A and B are shown apart, each in its own frame.
Chain A
Amino acid sequence: MAKQKRQEILRPVSNLFIASSVLAALLLNALPWEGIWLVLRPDFVAVVLLYWCTHKPHRLGIGLSWVVGILSDVNDASLFGQHALSYTVLAFGGIVLSRRIRMFDLREQTTQVFLILLATYSVYAVVHWQVNGQLAWSYFLGCLTSTLLWIPASSLFQSVRQLRVDRE
């Protein structure tokens, strides 16, 4: 259980790190994506929020996720509360499943993460459906790519936190 050991020596992350990662995710979401790339664009904010909700549920919870969701709404010019609602669902899923997810290794986490992200995207798509009268299936492609992003994203965060330990 080398992984378990490594996890134990991870230092508590600073608020600055969390905030900057969320900001970076917002930035990536705000990049000028177009056409097929917009459809395939993973929701970076969702992945980052999910990471912190599963790994630091007491630092970044439902409330902060909601706030980030509101910011995303402004960023995306979507309906006020649309992202907020879906990120609330995301944070809830992440917090409820946090202990379980942390027990799995990265590959096994992916299936759990997929379900949470699916729920998140479903909420978003349902709101879109209710407002615009049509179900946008293309959102679910983004759900898949977001899930694929989980492994690189969480290993990146783990390694960054690792680095911080090594430096001491």
Chain B
Amino acid sequence: MEGTQTFQVFNRGPSPAARLVFFAVLSLLLMFVDARFRYLESTRSLLSELVYPIQRLATLPNVLWQQTAGFFVSHQNLLEENKVLHRQHETDMAQLVQWQAMLHENQQLRTLLALQQRSQFNVQFAEIVYAERDVFRRKVLINKGSAANIQEGRVVMDDKGIVGQVTRVYPWLSEVTLITEKDHAVPVQVQRNGLRSIAFGSGDTSHLALRYMPVSADIVKGDVLVTSGVDGIYPPGIPVARVELIERDPAYPFARIVCKPLGGVDEHRFLMVLSTIPALPARPETMPPPAKQKAKGAH
């Protein structure tokens, strides 16, 4: 009913121009106060409570879109992330294994150092660089050779016991025959009662055998065998093996005795080469060498 305004003229209040001036002045005042004095922040925050639902509603489609898109996209993302994490995990695992190996190595080195302090003889450290690929030849190559004053016949051990013997020397490398090499012999004695014997390699890294021990020999399971030092090659008193199994069959003249090497024959990377062994007096020429004291293994 805008067309008929005849009677409304009277209750319409101030004219539009007056209202314009009033509100314009009010606006200008507000702007001035707001720009200069910042008095209106509380009013603004109060009004923003009123406007907040509108703003919230306005951003709602966007939020919904983001969430929906996120839901569908995230599956692919999760798969990729999973793959990446798997790869990372594998890398980390490899590094962790390496770290653990190094930890062991470090521990072993520390033990070796302690042993070196205890031992009477000089010791050179060497690291295993190659191992023979032939399963029947128990030999390793270490990274010290004649350049490092290594000589044939030197004893190689780790922190727990005898590992082998240097059998061939190259300028930069040495070949070590392990005590488990077939027919390699180490003169030993039982730590408990001093009973002498010879431990032969069996060709299997985990076993040594005591041959030619009578059935009645005083040897029991668990006895520790140490080097006897009778050959002049191995210094006396170094642990070699522990008796694992004794078979006393009266049908045979000798008992079958199986021992387990104490040294980590096929375990470690760092070994000690015993350098100086006090030389024994020369053996009398006329005396034929007993087979028992042949310490060097055939190879």
Interface residues of A (CB under 8 A from B): 12, 23, 26-28, 30-32, 55-58, 61-63, 66, 69-71, 74-75, 79-82, 84-85, 88-89, 92, 95-96, 98-99, 102, 127, 131
Contact = CB atoms under 8 A, between A and B. Distances in A.
A81 B8 CA distance: 30
Contacts of A71: 47, 50-51
Given A74-B48, A88-B27, 12 more contacts: A30-B57, A30-B58, A32-B62, A55-B2, A56-B2, A57-B2, A58-B8, A62-B16, A71-B47, A80-B34, A82-B31, A88-B20
Max count, chain A CB within 10 A of own CB: residue among B29, B33, B35, B59: B35
Q: For the complex, would chain B's binding face be called helix, strand, loop or mixed by DSSP majority?
A: helix
Contact of B28 (A58, A74, A81, A95): A81
Nearest to B45: A74
Contacts of B103: none
Contacts, number: 98
B51 A81 contact: no
Interface in B1-59: 1-2, 8, 12, 16-17, 19-20, 23-24, 26-31, 33-35, 40, 43-44, 47-48, 50-51, 54-55, 57-59
A31 B58 contact: yes
A14 to B, nearest CB: 15
A75 B23 CA distance: 19
Contact of A81 (B17, B29, B62): B29
A61 B2 CA distance: 13
Interface residues of B, number: 33
A55 B43 CA distance: 32
Nearest to A76: B51
A92 B16 contact: yes
Contacts of B8: 58
Contact of B58 (A32, A62, A98): A32
Contacts of B59: 30-32
Contact of B20 (A28, A75, A89): A89
A75 B56 CA distance: 11
Contacts of A80: 30-31, 33-34, 40, 43-44
